[in-house]
Amino acid sequence: MFKLIDVCLAVFLLGTACAYDINHFENRPNLQVFENYINQSVECVRQTLADGMPDHNLPSFNPLTIKHYTVDLDKYNFSNASGYVTIDNGIAENIVNFIVSNLKGKFVLVPPTISVDFTIWLENVTNVADYKTDMTIMDQKINGQGKISIGLVGLNVTGHVKAIVKKGKVELKELSAPALLKALDFKITGLYDDEEYSAKISKEISEKVPEQMNNNPELFIEVIGPLFVEVFNALLNDKIGWGIIKAMTQKCILDIFPQ
């Protein structure tokens, strides 16, 4: 899901920087981006993600199929987490059925800075996959291999992103995304090769995670923030990712925003 958000933000941030000639800002150093154009752009991005972009190796996100993906916790230098999680044969459904509200954008000329505030609501997102893991979190060893299912009900993310444009490149400077979750349906098998324990921990996670998130809305970005930033920067520096962003920027920003 964070990859989808990263694509949307990268397209909007880059597109906003490119959509206007610099002369448009000479006497308007603080421009509030026209929100009706932003909303059109959001719908364009949603439809493009749903359809995919075969010419740019972007699969359809409706649903999103993940054949193989590994999260290497050691890359993030966490003080209390290490190891890996590998996902195979993953399917994520309903992730393009997001509702965006309270969307506001601002461009400041000096220094060239773009900020975006938004609220994203996802009513029902399901993720199922085969998994394998061997990791240590808070001195607790966790290992297993089996199936995992994560159902998010009523995920509400209120985000703020600020980026500086330097020599045509977007550099992420600020990121906050407090989140609230109505309910979680979490199921896992094969944890410690113990199905009874797997059922018990599935129930506990389903009950406690929404409570923890709602009591600490910043927990969402604390957990996924490093991965979010890595994917964002990877998209901007990867040849394929850059091609996707350029194509979507043209289609969903430059062809929509007035020149």
CA separation for the pair 73, 67 (Å, rounded) = 20
User: Quick one: tokens of 92?
Assistant: 């994520």
* 97, 121 Cβ separation under 8 angstroms: no
Q: What is the pLDDT of residue 232?
A: 63
- pLDDT score, position 26: 37
Residue 86, classified by CB atoms within 10 Å of its CB into exposed (0-12), middle (13-18) or buried (19+), is: middle
Q: Please give the pLDDT value at position 142.
A: 94
Find, among 193, 202, 238, 228, the residue nearest to 57 by Cα: 238
Q: Which whole-number Å values give the CA distances from 147 to 35, 134, 173, 190, 201, in the listed order?
A: 42, 15, 37, 7, 14
pLDDT of residue 61: 86
Residues of the chain with pLDDT under 50: 2, 16-33
Domains of the chain with CATH codes: 2-254 (3.15.10)
Residue 29 and residue 110: Cα distance in Å, rounded?
A: 7
CA distances from 195 to 7, 17, 26, 28, 149 (A): 38, 52, 65, 63, 15
Instruction: Report the pLDDT value the prediction gives residue 208, as an integer from 0 to 100.
Output: 94
> Which contacts qualify for 243-250: CB closer than 8 Å, 24 or more apart?
243/56, 244/7, 244/53, 244/56, 244/57, 244/58, 245/7, 245/10, 245/11, 245/14, 247/53, 247/55, 247/56, 248/7, 248/11, 248/45, 248/48, 248/53, 249/11, 249/14, 249/15, 249/18
Q: Check whether the bond before 217 is cis (ω within 30° of 0).
A: no
